[in-house]
């Protein structure tokens, strides 16, 4: 059996991606002299213009790709792993063409590739396709010998699709010809699937339960979870020249997070092989003498499971990174000799479907002397959603399988982890506030900063955006647990955020957002309402929640303050509003240690001492004076007791059902 984790030197070092053939120097512009961009190029904050007046509320963008690869791009934490995977896959040095299926683009993967194909000479051509019966036959036809001139000169095809799309093309893939160095197929699969009546996006791969058994032996199936692993395995998929490759990666959360430092897969390391650098067919975590083992595919739940069981006696986790080719020997080697029982968690569309992973594990262990009992756990999409939105439920399931109850309940939180949530609307002039807050902490070498942005386009006209930020000392950070699991947003949350901001006050009347605030935490509402007006517009349910959890509610009218500082509405006015909200956040985040001077110093270090020609000292003074705490009492007036006509409608809940992508031209596309 071929060891796909072989010599590291066989990874492609695609230096032609960023070097000119003639000089070997980094190429910073296209032949027409225009710079190449990943995203809209906004002005970097300086001491005189911390917010660009020419780009309404756009935080400083990462450097253009072409001026930074291969080193600097991986040190620029505004890039997500998904962005880098698209870049790797779309290079003409890797792919002769990228076949972009509609389901992938709807999931926010492929929009950049399409944009690059129109502006970047080094990008592969893009073929847009619809997912329908027989999807994949066109790919097979292009690779079949003698059917295409493209095959004669080399056709390394890349396809982007989702688990649902891959399931639709599985039958067609059985007709794939043998892979060769110049003719093979690589399918990049962002694992995000709409589920339920509200089309909530889920990391489940249940649609593939029936597809995996169909796949021919010449297809390698790689499954990644963390941002670094996703980039590494995406690069690896193009160096497996004797196989077709399917790469599944977590696009639900991890690969879309910004703030990670991702090491270039093209750099040499001390070790010569991927195996030695930490990758293998299977990962093991937990008690080395475990009697009970849980086996599951790599993904967000696998990462959470590894974090939860690391100190639980008698329980271990086996994470499957390579599903095909299936290596029975490697699985046996990773299991402790003490194992008595193996529980296999399979993503399946319904309880009646038998998962492929269970069959594989059962077959691998069947002939062992003293073979452990192998039990199946069928994880339906509704189970996956429950585990992602309510990690405590998943923890209870795992601990319920442990031979002995743990002495103390494990947690996904670290002692000094701070969780921030920002609710806004896409058209709000303050919608970019979380990005500026991220940029405040990113340069700090002692703090880990991670950001994830999700959208709900169905519950409110114009949509709702939720930005989640995790801050923690780098000495204790665990990058492996996705933000979606570490800081879930759910309708019955018991309170997860240490700080919650509502940038558009209208959301308080339409959505139950404060339910996500932790007991005793600070809530900032950006509003033109006075304290009395805010209380009058709150649902009695929200007022009760504030009182029950002891939430500290603050308001600031950034629009009025910005008008007095910057004049009429416009880009400068919006920039000053953002700075006012940012300064208010810093004050609340610092808590009792906050002072006007300290807040000014932090903001000045991050964005300079002048904003739109206005001294930061003056803006900070306005922010300090404008921030007010709202006294919420049990008898406070609410929208429900003003008059019978004002009884509010039931509050809606945020549902993650859309992903936004910023194109090369600076346009934001919500799929």
pLDDT the model gives residue 65:
44
Quote the pLDDT of residue 670: 73
Segment 549-562 mean pLDDT: 97
SS (H, E, C) 548-559: HHCCEEEEECHH
Q: How confident is the model at residue 635 (pLDDT cuts 50, 70, 90)?
A: confident
Asked if 239 and 11 count as a contact pair (C-beta separation under 8 A), the reply is yes
Q: How is residue 77 annotated by DSSP?
A: T
480 pLDDT tier (thresholds 50, 70, 90): confident
Query: Three-state SS for 217?
Result: coil
Q: What percent of the chain has pLDDT over 90?
A: 69
pLDDT value of position 15: 30
Name which residue leads in pLDDT, 169 or 70: 169
d(CA 316, CA 305): 9
Q: Largest Cα–Cα distance in the chain?
A: 81
pTM for this entry:
0.87
Average pLDDT over residues 537-557: 96
pLDDT at residue number 455: 97
- pLDDT, average across residues 434-453: 93
Q: What is the mean pLDDT of residues 15-40?
A: 32
**Cβ neighbours, 10 Å, residue 310:** 15
Give me the DSSP letters along 82-149: HHHHHHHHHBTTT-SEEEEEHHHHHTT-SHHHHHHHHH-TTBPEEEEE---TTTTHHHHHHHSTTS-H
pLDDT of residue 132: 87
- The pair phi, psi for residue 20, each rounded to 5°, is -80, 145
Domains for the chain: give ranges and CATH numbers: 8-35+67-277 (3.40.50.970), 288-400 (3.40.50.920), 418-661 (3.40.920.10)
Q: Which residue has the higher pLDDT, 47 or 243?
A: 243
What's the half-sphere exposure (Cβ side, CA atoms, 13 Å) at 148?
A: 16
Q: What are phi and psi of 420, to 5 degrees?
A: -120, 140
Strands 418-424, 155-160: pairing kind: unpaired
Least confident of 215-224, 355-364, 405-414, 445-454: 405-414
Mean pLDDT within 619-645 = 80
Q: What is the pLDDT of residue 275?
A: 55
């Amino acid at each position: 059996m071929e060891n796909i984790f072989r010599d590291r030197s066989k990874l492609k070092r695609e230096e032609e991606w960023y070097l000119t053939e003639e000089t070997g120097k980094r190429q910073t512009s296209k032949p027409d002299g225009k710079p190449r961009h990943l995203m809209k190029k906004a002005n970097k904050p300086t001491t005189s213009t911390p917010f660009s007046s020419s780009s309404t509320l756009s935080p400083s963008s990462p450097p253009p790709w072409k001026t930074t690869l291969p080193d600097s791009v991986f040190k620029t934490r505004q890039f997500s792993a998904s962005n880098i995977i698209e870049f790797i896959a779309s290079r003409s040095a890797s792919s002769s063409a990228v076949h972009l299926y509609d389901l992938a683009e709807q999931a926010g993967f492929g929009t950049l590739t399409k944009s690059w194909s129109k502006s970047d000479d080094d990008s592969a051509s893009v073929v847009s396709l619809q997912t329908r019966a027989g999807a994949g036959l066109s790919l097979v036809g292009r690779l079949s010998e003698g059917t295409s001139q493209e095959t004669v000169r080399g056709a390394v095809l890349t396809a982007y699709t989702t688990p649902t799309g891959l399931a639709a093309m599985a039958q067609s893939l059985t007709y794939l010809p043998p892979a060769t160095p110049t003719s093979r197929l690589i399918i990049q699969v962002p694992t995000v699937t709409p589920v339920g009546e509200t089309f909530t996006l889920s990391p489940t791969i249940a649609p593939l339960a029936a597809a995996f058994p169909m796949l021919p032996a010449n297809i390698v199936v790689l499954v990644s979870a963390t941002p670094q692993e996703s980039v590494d395995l995406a690069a690896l998929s193009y160096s497996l020249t004797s196989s077709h490759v399917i790469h599944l990666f977590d696009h639900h959360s991890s690969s879309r997070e910004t703030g990670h430092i991702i090491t270039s897969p093209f750099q040499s390391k001390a070790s010569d092989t991927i195996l030695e650098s930490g990758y293998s067919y299977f990962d093991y975590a937990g008690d080395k003498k475990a009697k009970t083992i849980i086996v599951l595919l790599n993904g967000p739940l696998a990462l959470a499971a590894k974090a939860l069981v690391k100190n639980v006696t008698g329980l271990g986790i086996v994470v499957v990174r390579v599903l095909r080719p299936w290596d029975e020997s490697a699985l046996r080697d990773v299991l402790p000799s003490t194992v008595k029982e193996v529980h296999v968690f399979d993503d399946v569309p319904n309880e009646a479907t038998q998962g492929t992973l269970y069959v594989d594990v059962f077959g691998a262990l069947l002939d062992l002397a003293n073979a452990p009992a192998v039990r199946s756990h069928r994880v339906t999409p509704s189970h996956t959603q429950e585990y992602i939105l309510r990690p405590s439920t998943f923890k209870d399931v795992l601990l319920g399988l442990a031979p002995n109850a743990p002495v103390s309940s494990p947690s996904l939180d670290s002692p000094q982890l701070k969780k921030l949530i920002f609710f806004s609307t896409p058209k709000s002039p303050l919608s970019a506030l979380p990005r500026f807050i991220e940029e405040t902490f990113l340069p700090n070498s002692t703090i880990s900063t991670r950001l994830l942005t999700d959208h709900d386009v169905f519950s409110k006209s114009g949509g709702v955006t939720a930005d989640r930020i995790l801050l923690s000392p780098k000495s204790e950070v665990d990058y492996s647990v996705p933000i979606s699991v570490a800081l879930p947003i759910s309708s019955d949350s018991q309170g997860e955020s240490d700080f919650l901001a509502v940038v558009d006050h209208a959301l308080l009347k339409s959505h139950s957002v404060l339910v996500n605030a932790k007991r005793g935490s600070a809530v900032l509402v950006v509003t033109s309402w006075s304290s009395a007006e805010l209380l009058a517009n709150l649902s009695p349910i929200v007022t009760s929640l504030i009182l029950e959890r002891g939430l500290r509610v603050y308001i600031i009218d950034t629009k009025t303050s910005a008008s007095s500082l910057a004049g009429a509405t416009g880009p400068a006015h919006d920039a000053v509003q953002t700075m006012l909200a940012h300064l208010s956040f810093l004050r609340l985040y610092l808590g009792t240690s906050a002072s006007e001077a300290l807040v000014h110093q932090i903001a000045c270090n991050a964005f300079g001492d002048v904003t739109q020609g206005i001294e930061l000292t003056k803006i900070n003074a306005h922010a300090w004076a404008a921030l007010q705490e709202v006294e919420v009492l049990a008898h406070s007036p609410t929208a429900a007791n003003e008059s019978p006509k004002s009884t509010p409608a039931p509050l809606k809940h945020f549902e993650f059902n859309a992903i936004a992508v910023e194109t090369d031209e600076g346009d934001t596309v919500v799929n």
